Amino acid sequence: MRAKILIVNLLLFPAASLNWIICVFCSIIFLYTYHAVINYHYGGITIKINKRISKLMKIRCSQCGECCCDPVIEVTHHDIRRLVKHTGISADRLIRLHAKSDFDSVDDSDLIKFSYGNRKISLRKNKNGACLFLSEDRQCTAYEARPMSCRIFPIDVFLDDENKASDFELSDVIRDKFIKCKYHYGKSSSYKSFRLKAIQSGNETASYWGKIKQWNRRSEKGGKSDFLNFMGFKVPE
């Protein structure tokens, strides 16, 4: 009898050990998968997909056009290039310059140095204050080539020290009620595609400010045409 028990124990012990190994292995797989679901990895960056970000992904634009009437729609030279190609309008006619006094507060490091003073660049407006691409029925007539800031709005993308997207938040101009955005919540959009847009926006913004720093360091300042030529557009002097 004792011999039988010993044999049974000898048979069960490896089986029990195997169960433990399987159990530990499954736990590791579970924890890894959980981590991968909760944290989205892309380009070496990790953002926690928490409830707040999941909610942001459900924001749906109702195309009210309010944001297209914002006084300053920021553009980079990448945005301008796409708009020139899509619309055939020259870079010179696509942008306008804002003096520092147009803003409540603006950091000098955010301004471009021209021969006539420091300025900021934005997309040109119509006389009614709306973006030149906003149609009467409040549609974007340059939708395929709209600036990155329009593609991402109403979400703000925060960049880290390396200009990589590190967090998202509902735009402060909406939270501060400067723009009465009539967004609603709907089916969640793809986090991956939004994140790709955020990364593209971060890269383009970084390259834009890299060029601006080069321009600002030049001893001889110029006007708008000089600046656009410097940024790679062929504009008559």
Sites of contact with ligand SF4 (CB under 6 A) = 61-68, 73, 131, 133-134, 140, 142, 146-147, 150, 153-154, 179, 181-183
Closer residue to ligand SF4 in complex, CB, 68/111: 68
The whole-angstrom separation of Cα 208 and Cα 214 is: 10
Measured CA to CA in angstroms, residue 135 lies from 48, 69, 151, 215 at distances of: 38, 12, 17, 35
Beta-carbon neighbour count of residue 224 at 10 Å? 19
Q: How far is the CB of 225 from ligand SF4 (least distance, A)?
A: 23
Q: Which residue, 64 or 159, is less far from ligand SF4 as judged by CB? A: 64
CB of 80 vs ligand SF4, minimal distance in Å: 11
Q: Write down the least CB distance from residue 235 to ligand SF4, Å.
A: 21
Distance CA 5, CA 62 (A): 74
- Nearest residue (CB) to ligand SF4, 113 versus 151: 151
Considering the complex, state which of residue 63 and residue 189 has its C-beta at the smaller distance from ligand SF4. 63
Least Å from the CB of residue 130 to ligand SF4: 7
Nearer CB in complex with ligand SF4: 84/164: 84
Tell me how far apart the alpha carbons of residues 135 and 148 are, in angstroms, rounded to a whole number.
19
Helix ranges, the chain (H): 2-38, 51-56, 77-87, 91-94, 148-152, 172-175, 191-217, 224-230
Please give the helix or strand (H or E) that residue 46 lies within, else none.
strand 45-48
